[in-house]
Amino acid sequence: MRAAGAAGAGVNLLALRSHNTALVLDLLRTAGPEGISRLELAERTRLTPQAVSKITARLREDGLAVEAGRRASTGGKPRTVLRLVPEAGHAVGVHLDRDEVRVVLMDLRGAVVGERRAPLDLGAGAGAVLAAVTGVVRETADEVLSAVPAVGAGALARAGSPLGVGVALPGPLDHTRGVLHRVTGFPEWDGFPLREALAERLGVPVVIDKDTNAAALGLAAGGEGGSFAYLHLGTGLGAGLVIGGGVHRGARTGAGEFGHQVIQLDGPPCTCGDRGCVEALCLAAVARGDTEEAARVLGAGAANLVGLLDIDVVLLGGRTVGATPEPFVRGVGAVLGARARRTGQDAVPVRVAAGGGRVVAEGAAQLVLGPVFGRGDG
């Protein structure tokens, strides 16, 4: 990952975002190793056979697609099928937490092929944090990509050149501009252009989003359907919302500050500056070892969310939930069940989110991969 490659990688990523190319790539991805024929691609994309031939020829030249044999036809000669080459491109996902950084490297099919974790102090200052993140990202990418042979003529095929880096961290922040706001507990980051600073250091395109939004995006890309809320309880508490098939960020990309809803007027102070927030109450219960009370408080916040948005499912994640998942699922489920009985509605199910401790980092990688395959949440 060198700065000299920034322009090439950026241009290639923009080229891949062409709508028709993205349609074809997504069908190649979902077809799996068995592949798909050009005729099927034309039928399913409603593109002309000539357009599909041009797109697939370019994808083969770039090393993104290869022939995967022939399939019997209902008439005429057998059809040649094509498949995606997963190792022809990679995305880096970074979970930048308050006390550690986790990095994953993901191939085009969404499989994690490299991972690293390192301690980090988000309050150590921009220089120290940027240096730490840059180092872990480069180590993770170089370890895997240095062994990947060049498979075509395009920029994606060059070893050591990932598509980009997705970075997820606590909010609030401006996803569109890649600028941090007053990160809860770390107001000194207010106004810092994190996307620009990391892109300059890493030499590839960078996308920034809140940790909970990234996790929600990754869960949706992994097959979680319907409208759902992902509640992340770790060093803080936040929510990622998927409504109508897409991540809901809000007009100013500030949605999901779930932990800072006040449920106890004149309650204990919160790091956000308010009092009686769900986050403050929940983390205080966790600190004194009262998991049942933490789950009950989390459930009260979840019940407010369910009543407001009428979502299909509540998913729980984060290191605190991961350490003792059963009491949190049971406790939050009990509060939502009591609400359902009062309102005469079906109870909204509560589950632990798939992905474990990697859910945020994997979602951050999907911030980069999504647009390549025509999923506009990146």
pLDDT tens across 169-223, in order? 998 999 999 999 988 889 899 999 999 999 999 999 999 999 999 999 999 999 9
- The CA-atom distances, in angstroms, between 96 and each of 243, 358, 364 are 25, 12, 10
Task: Write down the pLDDT at residue 11.
Answer: 36
Contact present, 63 and 85 (Cβ < 8 Å): yes
What is d(CA 336, CA 102) in angstroms, rounded to the nearest whole number?
32
Chain-wide mean pLDDT for the chain?
A: 90
* Structure tokens that stand for 373 in this block: 């395959």
What is the number of other CB atoms lying within 10 angstroms of the CB of residue 201?
A: 18
| pLDDT at 150 > cutoff 70 | no
The residue to which tokens 């028709």 are assigned? 20
| pLDDT at 312 > cutoff 50 | yes
Its pTM stands at 0.89
